[in-house]
Structure 1
């Protein structure tokens, strides 16, 4: 079979490129003079062993002898595999364990660890890893920089089975995206296992549960004390656009490579490199991305042969060439007849084909639009939209609207990232502008459980009727999407967290702090005691308290809350909340109550008193938790050590001590010993009145309260 002269010229012209590519295939994946392996592990560039062998210090690898065999380490972690195309590294990491004596459960030993990759170029892969808790009657959890993630495994409800990790002897939790810090904890009060319990973060496909793991050290022995973990990595912390301008440090140096924008754990810009489609190799080395010869693959050659042609490899692609006298028509090699008799039929067929394609495309688009409308309708009904719509019609005067997805897309400029007001554990909030220039906050929730799906319409109707000056008004919702969206009034002056922790040096008087505390307590007391049915907030924290122009506090984000439970159906296996504010009793029982909100509010009171964050990773061990540090200093009668200097003076000390005492009661370990939000609100109201009129006659009934007796009988100094 002979090819035309043009094809022969093409082959001759492509021969030098083929020779260059053949040479490129032999290019090393590491820098000249640098070791390419450590033991039996390949160390590709940008990683390197020794000085000047890595792209920068963040990718230095140490090759150390262990039991006579060299092994690569990144810091304290053994590296078992590195993938440049996937930007992943496999490492071995430790196991957190707790073991009890076989005859005496008081004979307990444990080891808890944490992994901290802050300020490195690595983060835990969300796609590959899971958090596993192994053991009978074991509650385990891990803290990240922003979340508390955990679950409860039990052997009493159903017997464990090999290979399965579904809550019986083993449970697992998804990792949030871009995490660099994980610390393991066993629940101090809810573990009753008589064998061993474990908490690990591990590559999911490498884990297989055995029923022997919960009663012995078999799990530790099976993995020899270390489990495989997959880490994603970025090459540098800046955008692709900014990196390309600095040619001296730009990492994507190979021809046919491209830059991929990413982000680090703090949401800052970052990037990595990859070879373009049709190429493979190492984009961090000059000439590292080489052409993929698709014609070497049997599937490609068979596909060309089926069409009557021959595969010819070209740079980044491959054509199927027809033999002389034929041309590719409708994906087949067809004889090229000289007679003009074929022209009209071919033209007619081409026109017909175009008409057919246009007709099919239009029909497809109409069908897809109908399918999308059907999906939106299904979501609307699934979330109780018809019930909510009928209820709104029957209740005159309810200012609540069911928005369409298109309305909220237009209001938020298609949920533009520039309009993001904040990120939370339940979703992202965007600023929006409705028709009539009405400013709103639109919350896109990340997920919703099955129980909430069934009750969503009814709960929205209840939440829409909440009318309190210190609660952010819920304007409406969108139900025609998989996870409903909520529309709130827009509060312009940010959150309480920003007010007290922002680096602006602003003076905040005690009167202002007391006003914010009292108004926030009023709002929570309303939700607990006057809403019908009562509503549990579930995520009370300073970033969920918004501040208006006159420092009026408005509690927000209660749309992700739950109605007060009437039975044990609210028992959950995964504890959710914000690190530093979580009620320890909720973590033990997995059951949210109104006293859980009281505990979290106690932490907010501490923030107002101390101007310190509820959880400080950078502090000493005994100062990481604000609540624990507060309890410690009050026991030692050293309250002054933790109070904010701006408000600590002789005139304020009595009020500060009373508020501190109230916070201490809110932080009681047992919920029954905590006051209700209604009591908290009354006591803050009384303290504000005393600050305004310290000489005012006290209510005789209030005088009987222990706090009042302490004020009246305080010895003079």
Structure 2
């Protein structure tokens, strides 16, 4: 489907752009593509299309370009903590809903404005901009966007040519009055908006998954954690490891050069590190320093002489 195909392209483009930012020892592989460390924590950031409702002065009609996204058969779900529903326009009412189950999920957002001077940068309280922070429910895997046709830009198109509606990342959005008077909002990400997706393995809890042959967290250095956004579970690394469930070993001595005090040797051990002080000194864990070892006893002024008696020459015949 066109919408999923475009999302796939957006995902690959975004993953390619962030792979260089991932820290050492934390490369997660998705097929032959590398993702960010956040991918292993059940979260990733993508770009997806914005729905538009624009007035065409030539035909004198409103033209809609609506988008939907369905992850019903995929392991993804929309992040209820990182996303919201954004609507921009001067006479706009838009819905985000599930086309196949409207009774279960339908949420709206409305924005109005009479003139440019009523718009305030950074404010999204219904004047030119509406944000519904509760629109994305937990475990949501499908959404559709719809504009209520009675409300449109046919009377305000000269300074508000288009209305927009999108599920977007809350943190990356800040309203600008230019989003109303120009097409800058839609052009910033080439007709798309940043969105955060969560993912999980399967549809059962860790307790049930441990008894299944498909259980994914089998490595001795992984732990199973239930998904916080819908069904399923994740495999997390135990202390001293990071990355995906295949677990790349972390050199904690190299990662933290000041882990041990000056003069001490740092040795990696499973799940951590060990500091060894020079001979005659002992590690004080409270101050992280190597202090003289008062338990050592020294022999002073002692001398051992070994006298041996033997014959010169070869063995007696």
Q: Which whole-Å CA distance do the structure 1 matches of 2:188 and 2:120 have between them? A: 17
Q: Deviations over 1:479-502 (max 9, x none)?
A: xxxxxxxxxxxxxxxxxxxxxxxx
Q: Deviations over 1:227-265 (max 9, x none)?
A: 232211112122323322233x22224341122222674
- Asked if the contact 1:82/1:88 (under 8 Å) is kept, the reply is no
Aligned residue among 120, 129, 142 for 2:83: 129
Residue 181, structure 1, aligned to residue 181, structure 2 = no
SS in 2 for 1:241: helix
Aligned residue among 96, 101, 112 for 1:154: 112
| CA shift for structure 1 position 89 | 3.6
- Asked if the contact 1:80/1:91 (under 8 Å) is kept, the reply is no
2:312 aligns with none
Q: Which whole-Å CA distance do the structure 2 matches of 1:80 and 1:252 have between them? A: 19
- Asked if the contact 1:244/1:250 (under 8 Å) is kept, the reply is yes
SS in 2 for 1:205: coil
- Asked if the contact 2:41/2:234 (under 8 Å) is kept, the reply is no
**More helix by percentage:** 1
Instruction: Provide structure 2 residue ranges, at least 5 long, that are not aligned to the other structure.
Output: 1-11, 20-26, 298-317
2:279 aligns with 324
- Asked if the contact 2:203/2:233 (under 8 Å) is kept, the reply is yes
- Of 87-96 and 148-157, deviating more is 148-157
Q: Which whole-Å CA distance do the structure 1 matches of 2:227 and 2:199 have between them? A: 10
Aligned residue among 296, 314, 329 for 2:269: 314
Q: Deviations over 1:551-594 (max 9, x none)?
A: xxxxxxxxxxxxxxxxxxxxxxxxxxxxxxxxxxxxxxxxxxxx
Aligned residue among 50, 56, 64 for 1:95: 50
Q: Which whole-Å CA distance do the structure 1 matches of 2:272 and 2:149 have between them? A: 60
- Asked if the contact 1:237/1:264 (under 8 Å) is kept, the reply is no
2:219 aligns with 254
- Asked if the contact 1:279/1:316 (under 8 Å) is kept, the reply is yes
Q: Deviations over 1:118-145 (max 9, x none)?
A: 2321100123222111112322231255
SS in 1 for 2:187: helix
SS in 2 for 1:237: coil
Within-5 A mapping of 1:258-407: 258-262=223-227, 265=230, 269-283=231-245, 288-297=246-255, 300-302=256-258, 304-305=260-261, 309-329=264-284, 331-332=286-287, 333=289, 334-338=291-295
| CA shift for structure 1 position 155 | 3.2
1:366 aligns with none
- Asked if the contact 2:37/2:243 (under 8 Å) is kept, the reply is no
2:211 aligns with 245
Distance 1:96 1:243, change over 3 A: same
Structure scoring higher RCO (CA < 8 A, sep ≥ 6) equals: 2
SS in 2 for 1:302: coil
Q: Deviations over 1:145-168 (max 9, x none)?
A: 534333332334973344554433
Distance 1:335 1:122, change over 3 A: same
Distance 1:208 1:263, change over 3 A: closer
1:215 aligns with 181
**More strand by percentage:** 2
Distance 1:44 1:151, change over 3 A: same
Q: Which whole-Å CA distance do the structure 1 matches of 2:295 and 2:226 have between them? A: 53
1:169 aligns with 128
Q: Which whole-Å CA distance do the structure 2 matches of 1:81 and 1:331 have between them? A: 36
Distance 1:292 1:222, change over 3 A: same
1:394 aligns with none
Q: TM-score, normalised by structure 2?
A: 0.69
1:578 aligns with none
- Asked if the contact 2:28/2:36 (under 8 Å) is kept, the reply is no
Distance 1:296 1:164, change over 3 A: farther
Aligned residue among 40, 49, 53 for 1:85: 40
| CA shift for structure 1 position 218 | 3.0
Distance 1:204 1:225, change over 3 A: same
Q: Which whole-Å CA distance do the structure 1 matches of 2:95 and 2:229 have between them? A: 24
- Asked if the contact 2:28/2:243 (under 8 Å) is kept, the reply is no
Q: Which whole-Å CA distance do the structure 2 matches of 1:149 and 1:321 have between them? A: 61
1:522 aligns with none
- Asked if the contact 2:62/2:152 (under 8 Å) is kept, the reply is no
Q: Which whole-Å CA distance do the structure 1 matches of 2:253 and 2:37 have between them? A: 28
Distance 1:313 1:156, change over 3 A: farther
| CA shift for structure 1 position 197 | 0.5
Q: Deviations over 1:624-651 (max 9, x none)?
A: xxxxxxxxxxxxxxxxxxxxxxxxxxxx
Q: Which whole-Å CA distance do the structure 2 matches of 1:327 and 1:156 have between them? A: 76
